[in-house]
Amino acid sequence: MEQRDEILAQARALATEMTAEEQAALCSGQNFWHTKPLPRLGVPDATLADGPHGLRLEAGRHDRPGLHDSVPATCYPTASLTACSFDPALLRRIGRALAEECIQEGAAMLLGPGVNIKRSPLCGRGFEYFSEDPLLAGECAAGMIEGLQENGVSACLKHFAANNQEAWRLVNDAVVDERALYEIYLRAFEVAVHKAHPDAVMSSYNLINGSYAGESRQLLTRVLRRQWGFDGLVVSDWGAVNQRVKALAAGMDLEMPGPDSHSDAAILRAVQRGLLDEDLLREAAARVSAFALAHQHDRHEPYDAPAHHALAGEAAAESAVLLKNEGMLPLRPGQKVALLGGFAKTPHYQGGGSSQVHPTYLSSLLGSFISKGADFVYTEVFAPDELAPHKRRLAAALESVKAADVAVVCLGLPDSVESEGFDRADLRLPESQLALMEALKGCGKPVTVVLYCGGPVELPFAEEVDAILWMGLAGQNSGAATWHLLYGQRSPSGKLAETWPLRLEDAPFAHTSPAFGGRESQYRESVYVGYRWYDAAGLPVRYPFGHGLSYTHFGYASLTHSMNKRRLRPGEALRVRFVIKNEGSCAGKEAAQVYIQPPEGPAYRPVKQLAAFGKYYIEPGREALASLTIDPRAFMVYDPAAGGWKTLGGRYRILVGSSSRDIRLEAELEVEGEPVSRALDKREAAPGYYAVTPGADGAPKAWPRAEFEAVLGRAVSAGPEEAAAQPGEGSDAGAADAAAEKAAGKAAARQKLKFDRNTPAGELRRSWLGRRTLSVAAAVMRRHLHAPSPETARRMLEGNLHQMPLRALALMSGGRLSLTRVDGLVLLLNHQPGGLRQLVSGKARPKKISLHDAGHGEAG
């Protein structure tokens, strides 16, 4: 920290010697992956590279996204799996290894980790995120950040904040109440910032309660810098900037990608006209310079690729979760195995999009069976991207099972389902795989299912098989890791970082996602995310948060805590101790979890929430003494009216267990409370948040709009079902009123501009010129997309291009398309004069600007 302070002081001194033009120039990128240098003052450029579970840096070119030819690098297991290790120390080791690979390739910053909350298992990018629980997510992120930065590579914590879906991510508005925002969606960032001090934070694409995250001074300055003490660089997500001057005033230092001469000019004009404080610009330029100066010595030291490959396998084995085992596993040497499913040969080991790594090696389960000399027969049955069942292959699979002692079936999601840019439509496995599982019913042989997917899937066959091993997206050494677990060379020790529901309809967001109209997501569930919802509602789940089996068994005993004789005071931490004993016949690791159960009070709260955890290696018959600290924040809620955190007093229960629903030990604790605002009490206005119950069919009932408005503090739009149930519908008078309103709306729409900078590109299909423009843009983007299948490429194109605002086309073009020309296109699409001239020439007449509309500068 001292060295960072010294470099920042040096950069601030240099910034005072810069001209305003130089300061503005430093605040946008040189190209897709570099900051701008300032040779006159000795400020170098610096390279940024994609992460988070492996280095993705395009070889040679830096003027494009680089989804084609990235350098070879180790593909580690994705965050959705490594979080299941419940082991921040393992994430720290992965971070160190990632830093070594960045150093070899000259990358100063890795864009990761991603710490967004897994609000929905449908999120297409969910494999990049750790958990539905903010404490676990924040601790895992802190481990990776520490590993990266202690080896001299900057981490960039992302995506700040409430970026919880891929659909309409560049224009979606996350409508979330303040308590949920602070207690759930910001909390993981806060934990990581306080514990690991990342060098950078990336602001997200989306809006939060009507304002772009990258233009929110509340988020970027008041919360991030003033409340949390962050002193690093704030960088935009690629193409996320809406209004550059407003973003800089909010606290965003660096806009990526570049070059963006419009932004530089807009910043300069805003300073010259007194619309932007020149001290803010100078400080932003100093932060960008400090980052570059900290990495001015290129080391390019080679890393040990085989050792990193081994670490990837170790991390996968440490994190994989044994969901079910009825004596089937581990497999015994000499058993003849029927190995079924295309994932055994062609592993699904990572998701698609900007995090896609070009692996240095790649192991498969089939390859491990061959190299180990196992007695087996392999039947593909289905290719990984094959959706429809094939009768002849099914028959062949059954024949191979008859001749075997056991069946190991490799199932998973195809590449076209899990990717950045689009969300999953459901939690179902493909019909080709479900047909195989149906055919195996009554086969008379033990069946183990190995799952390769980044998140929960529905498992209609779960009760009919003997064992289920979830490997997640286990990285490039997934094959060897799976083999080691199946044959007992390692005992599974992973625990689920995300609840697996019985069905999608049980999830709390089911009535508010996908977003209403595609442009708004109402977080009506408030703090009831993941297990907080399922436990509060008493809903059965397939596998609970924290669940995971082992080849041994652990007993718990002797729970004590540090407040046995007095009340816990506000702001005071609690120490808990208990004993874990390995009661089985093999060594293993146990991830013990401590939850708190709050008393009833003025604020609605979950039934329980994770407060601490620890992982312990224990030999057979031996014991470990677990000693864990519960942070004071666990006993607090955010009080919006008071503008801060408040301890709620009363009698709490301390719960220790092996999962959120496998509680082994309990104790009580009296906590001294603090005064809270009256506005925190919503029992009368929003009773459904205090008595959480599912609907008549067992599925979540949508929280009424009136109750959500009481919690949120303002009015919101009606959901589809609510809009359909409006009074007057069906009557003649109501129909007449609706028709008149519809006609008036159409007339008003004709008078309004149809297109603007924030119009999603997909809406260009409404006009001939728009369709031609979209066709050209699609052709350009296809050249840069690297996808494992045509279907994945199609869905990525649909998600990334068609939902991208027009302004982002310019930002992502690498300078080939200016915002002036985008504005000309908008004028032309709206049949306004001057559009064609501006589109062709790239020049337009100046107009007056304000801080609000300066954005990337005037049209000229």
Asked if 237 and 157 touch (Cβ cutoff 8 Å), the reply is no
In whole angstroms, give the CA distance from residue 494 to residue 86: 7
614 contact partners, CB below 8 Å, separation of at least 6: 86, 591, 592, 626, 628
pLDDT tens digit sequence for 475-515 = 999 999 999 999 999 999 999 999 999 999 888 875 555 44
Rounded to 5°, the CA angle 663-667-669 comes to 135
Catalytic one of 50, 177, 237, 385: 237
Pairing of strands 207-208, 173-175: parallel
Taking CB atoms within 8 Å and a gap of at least 24, the contacts of 222-230 are 223/186, 224/160, 224/189, 224/193, 224/251, 225/251, 228/190, 228/193, 228/194, 229/193, 229/194, 230/193, 230/197, 230/198, 230/201
Two structure tokens written together for 376? 């087996």
Task: Say if residue 227 is exposed, middle or buried (CB neighbours under 10 Å; 0-12, 13-18, 19+).
Answer: middle
pLDDT at 570: 96
Which regions in the chain score pLDDT beneath 50? 514-517, 728-751, 849, 851-854, 856-860
Q: CB–CB of 290/7 below 8 Å?
A: yes
d(CA 63, CA 31): 5
Give the pairing type, strands 211-212 and 207-208: antiparallel
Q: Which residues of 11-43 are buried (b: 16+ CB within 10 A; e: fewer)?
A: bbebbeebeeebbbbbbbbbbbbbbbbbeeeeb
Q: Which two tokens stand for residue 403?
A: 């001749």
Q: Name, in order, each residue with C-beta under 8 angstroms of 591's C-beta and a sequence gap of 6 or more.
A: 85, 86, 87, 493, 494, 495, 546, 548, 613, 614, 615
Peptide bond into 259 cis (omega under 30): yes
CB 659 within 8 A of CB 548: yes
Active site residue 681: no
- Whether this model's pTM surpasses 0.75: yes
- The CA distance from 823 to 834, in Å, is 10
**For the packed helices 134-150 and 187-196, what is the interaxial angle rounded to 10 degrees?**
30
